[in-house]
Structure 1
Amino acid sequence: MSQHCPACQQPLSATDSGFHCPSCARDYDAEARCPDCQQPLQVLKACGAVDYFCQHGHGLISKKRVQFAPLSP
């Protein structure tokens, strides 16, 4: 899934910490979203493991299914 810059609508590049817009030189943090309802996921971290939980009725979401979107400033 291609992500677009919230400011200029140009395609974003993925970085280690989120997204970067080469067109307007802005950086965005990544937000984990539920693949079923597109709502933000709660990130659960324990003992080095990272899990994702949907508070809108979809329960635990596999890391393979999580969709990351740019978090608007």
Structure 2
Amino acid sequence: MNENNCPGCQSPLSWKDGQYYCEACQHPVKKKAFCPDCEDELEKLQACGSASYFCNHCNELKSKSRVKVVFEFA
């Protein structure tokens, strides 16, 4: 299972004011998803409580289990 850890100190991230936040670094953190095929950043689509990822370069939906998720300081 993929953990939501800070890119700087590897501490677990918390959810604060609608975004990820590292309490140890006191920094907001952004979550980005990348296409497993072309490595372009994916667009997150949310509907009815579920999330899907769409690659504009490949022009297709990508499986959540295949995307590469990266956390970086906002």
Taking structure 1 as the reference length, the TM-score comes to 0.61
Map of 1:67 onto structure 2: 68
Within 5 Å, give how 1:15-30 maps onto structure 2.
Answer: 15=13, 25=25, 26-30=27-31
Superposed CA deviations along residues 5-28 of structure 1, whole A, max 9, x for unmatched, are: 5xxxx67455355585x7xx2442
Letter in 1 for 2:57: H
Q: Is 1:33 the counterpart of 2:34 in the alignment? A: yes
Separation in structure 2 between the aligned mates of residue 11 and residue 36 of structure 1, nearest angstrom:
29
Separation in structure 2 between the aligned mates of residue 35 and residue 19 of structure 1, nearest angstrom:
26
Q: Which runs of 4+ in 1 moved over 3 A?
A: 10-14, 16-20
* CA RMSD after TM alignment: 2.9
Q: What is the total number of aligned residue pairs between the two structures?
A: 66
Separation in structure 2 between the aligned mates of residue 19 and residue 34 of structure 1, nearest angstrom:
24
Structure 1: 5+ residue stretches without partners: none
Map of 2:53 onto structure 1: 52
Structure 2: 5+ residue stretches without partners: 1-6
